[in-house]
Amino acid sequence: MNSGFLGEYGGQIATLAVEHLWLTGAAMLFSTAVAVPAGIWLTRSRRWAGPVIGTANVLQTIPSLAMFGFLLPLPWLGERAARVAIVALTAYALLPILRNTYAGIQGIDRSLIEVAGALGLTDLQRLFKIELPLAASFILAGIRTATVTCIGIATIAAAVGAGGLGELIFRGVASVDNRLILAGAIPAALLALAADAALGLLERLFRVPAQERGAGNA
C-alpha cells in the first residue's frame, strides 16, 4: 500500500476500524457479563457444568457465516445487522471466559476454602476476598482468548452489512484487489495483537498479587 492509496482510503480504514472495535467491545462486554457469573454459578452447581460448558462448546463449533445466517431471520435481531453481529460474536466469546472462570475457581486449593469457612466468611465474602482474586488471572486469560477470537471473527460481520474492517476485505476479494484486502486484514491483525498484548500484561499483573491477597485473606 503506497501513500496515494492510504491518502484515498485512510479515513475509511480509520472509520471501519472504529466500527470493528465497537462490535468487538460490545460483544466482549455482553459475553463477560454472562460468562463470569455463569462460571461462578457452575462452581456452586457442578452437576450443570458439563451440559452448560458443552452447549457453549457447540456454539463455538458453528461456522461463523452459518451463525450469522441463523440469526438474520430473527425478528428483532434481523432489523439491524450490528445486532446480529454482536449476538453472534457474544456466542463465540462465551466458551473461553466460562471455562476459565469455572476452572480458575475450581482449581483453588481446597484448604483455603476450608480456612475461609472456619473463619466464618459467608459465601459472598469468600467469593470476593479469596476465589475471584485467585482466579483473576485465569478469567483474564479467557477474556484475552475470547477478545482475539472476536476481533478475527468480526471481519465476517461485513457479510451481513454490519461494517467493520471485513468490509474492505470483502470488497477486495470481489474486485480482486490485494491492496483492499490488506487494508482490512492488516489493521484487524494489529488490533488483535494490541488487544492480546494489553490483556496479557493485565493478566501477568493480576497473577502474583492475586495469590498474595488470597493467602493473606485466608
User: 1-57, pLDDT tens digit by residue?
Assistant: 566 666 667 788 899 999 999 999 999 999 999 999 999 999 999 899 999 999 999
Give the chain's length.
218
Q: What is the H or E stretch that residue 44 is in?
A: helix 3-44
Distance of CA 156 to the CA centre of its chain: 16
Convert the pLDDT of each residue in 163-197 to its tens digit.
Answer: 899 999 999 999 988 889 999 999 999 999 999 99
**Please, which pLDDT band fits residue 198 given cuts at 50, 70 and 90?**
very high
Looking at per-residue pLDDT, the higher value among 8 and 162 belongs to 162
**Does residue 62 sit in helix, strand or coil?**
coil
Nearest residue to 200 (alpha-carbon basis) of 148, 144, 132, 133: 144
Convert the pLDDT of each residue in 87-135 to its tens digit.
Answer: 999 999 999 999 999 999 999 888 888 888 888 888 888 889 889 999 9
In Å, what is the CA distance from 126 to each residue of 90, 108, 116, 117, 217?
A: 29, 12, 7, 8, 9
Question: Given 3.20.20.150, 3.30.930.10, 3.40.980.10, 1.10.3720.10, which CATH number is that of 3-217?
Answer: 1.10.3720.10
**Does residue 129 sit in helix, strand or coil?**
helix
Half-sphere exposure of 174 (CA within 13 A, CB side): 8
Instruction: State residue 143's pLDDT score.
Output: 96
Convert the pLDDT of each residue in 3-13 to its tens digit.
Answer: 666 666 778 88
pTM equals: 0.87
